[in-house]
Amino acid sequence: MRFNSIQFAIFLPIVFLLYWFVFDRFISKSKWQLRLQNAFIVVVSYIFYGWWDWRFLLLIAFTSFCSWGSGLLIGKAKTKKKAKTWMWLNIVLNLGILALFKYYDFFATEFAELFNLSTDGLLLRIILPVGISFYTFQALSYSIDINNGKIEPTKDIVAFFAFISFFPQLVAGPIERATNLLPQFLKKRKFDYDTAIDGTRQILWGLFKKIVVADNCATFVDQVFSTYPEQSGSTLFLAAVLFSFQIYGDFSGYSDIAIGTAKLFGIKLMRNFNVPYFSRDIAEFWRRWHISLTTWFRDYVYFPMGGSRVSKAKIVRNTFVIFLVSGFWHGANWTYIAWGAYHAILFLPLILLGKNRKYRNIVAEDRFLPTIKECFQMMLTFLLVVLGRVLSRSRSIGQAWEYFCGMCNESLFTKPFLYAGTKRTMLLIAVMLIIEWITRRKEHALQYGPKIPSWLAWIFSAAIVLIILEYGGNSQSFIYFQF
């Protein structure tokens, strides 16, 4: 079930009403209230997830049960060695399932090509379960955190299943840690009107970014990438720029909808995007882009390898490992690995010079406008990100090379060809950027402060609704569903 579908528009209000007015009000005196409320979350989450293919439910249930059981075994282990053994068994099991569904055909194809073999009977050609990379990493963090003493294993299997399958963030994140999300399912939740209103506004802003920005960008991007040999360099460059805004509007829009929806149910999810296109260098960009994934790799891969507290040679190794693994996490294709290597190369000078943590605050924190230097830094960082997007959007390394060659010639300085509606799309992107710049210190763009009268806030929100209805593009699936 997609957030931008009629089905979800019907599903969410029904679930919301049942959650608060049946499982909270009418059975509030029952000692089973919390468990029934969590069981309800599990049921509706499985309905939400099974909307694509009910067979996927068997896999997520198996992952959840094994991870829950491994947590108990780690907690009961009498020695650290035995606890670590149970942790690694769960890691191998979950990563094995992920590898089978997501990477087997890729490696099998590469093996066949290397030895000039036929792929007949070699490939599984199985459907990739939606969101498997997200909930697998969430399950892994649970057993790792128990082994590291950061959280106690829970005996409440219903709460644990709710933690793994919570429908707002199930298929595309944020990738939550058990230390943050699981305890919220172990205590009573109370309805808070202000939080629900804030969540509704965050959902609205997420829909704006997805339906108005991302889906309109997709029309131009798809047309150009499908005919790239015929396009001028300027048109190819514009498509790469619009794809950068498409993927941002698409993925950060999903995250806003997920976080806002969770607020409706009294659950707080971590922030996943923090105005990344206002970054002054590539290190700051990665602190602001897909935060739940970058911090996951930092805590569970980079730090265990020694992080930055090792020799320069090992820092280089650790940096490349992180970005290559991150690239491969995004997809079983050499283009994603190349994309990861590209960002590692961009990151290395900052790491080696000790400048990777230079920009920890928001740009122009105490000013309305950035300085000329900050403008140049943001434009250069954005340009570097745009060039990398060509790799992630291309079907192969060969196509990416041809795209770069087509873009980097004298036609780059000509007027780009604009399809119908492209100028309007660029105007809508500008509207998004202006709003996000003004509200860059907020959690999301429609989080109004106390100085804003409520009537003005409602008018502005209504204007966003009208823009969505009037200028929404053709409905597209969320890009990160494929990951």
Q: Are 262 and 269 in contact (CB under 8 A)?
A: yes
* DSSP annotation of 131: T
Residue 385 tokens, joined: 């990100």
Q: Is the peptide bond before 416 cis (omega within 30 degrees of 0)?
A: no
How do the residues of the chain divide into helix, strand and coil, expressed in percent and rounded to 5? 70, 0, 30
Residue 257 tokens, joined: 């909808």
Nearest alpha-carbon partner for 293 in 141, 160, 151: 141
Q: Are 63 and 94 in contact (CB under 8 A)?
A: yes
Task: Please enumerate in sequence order all residues whose Cβ is within 8 A of that of 436, keeping only pairs 6 or more positions apart, or say none.
Answer: 275, 278, 445
Among candidate residues 290, 330, 343, 444, the one labeled active-site is 330
* DSSP annotation of 126: P
Count of alpha carbons within 13 angstroms of residue 422, beta-carbon side: 16
Q: Residue ranges of the alpha helices (H) in 227-311?
A: 233-264, 282-288, 291-297
Nearest alpha-carbon partner for 9 in 247, 268, 270, 200: 200
Q: Are 227 and 245 in contact (CB under 8 A)?
A: no
- Quickly count: other Cβ atoms within 10 Å of residue 461's Cβ: 17
- Quickly count: other Cβ atoms within 10 Å of residue 263's Cβ: 23
Integer-rounded Cα radius of gyration of the chain = 23
Distance CA 66, CA 94 (A): 9
Active site residue 330: yes
Q: Is the peptide bond before 174 cis (omega within 30 degrees of 0)?
A: yes
Task: Please enumerate in sequence order all residues whose Cβ is within 8 A of that of 83, keeping only pairs 6 or more positions apart, or say none.
Answer: 74, 75, 77, 147
Distance CA 144, CA 165 (A): 19
Q: Rounded to 10 degrees, what is the CA torsion of 256, 261, 267, 270?
A: -10
First vs last Cα of the chain: how many Å apart?
16
Residue 325 three-state SS: helix
* Residue positions annotated with a catalytic role: 330
